Amino acid sequence: MGSAVYALTHIGDYATAEAYYKLSLTRTFPKNSPLTLVLHYANLAKVSLSTDRAEDAITHFEYCIENGGETIMRYEAAARLKELTVNKF
Total of domains in the chain: 1
27: domain CATH number?
1.25.40
Q: What is the pTM of this model?
A: 0.86
pLDDT at 55: 96
CA distances for 11 relative to 8, 25, 57, angstroms: 5, 22, 19
Structural domain for 59, as ranges: 2-88
pLDDT in tens, 23-46: 989 988 888 999 999 999 999 999
pLDDT at 34: 94
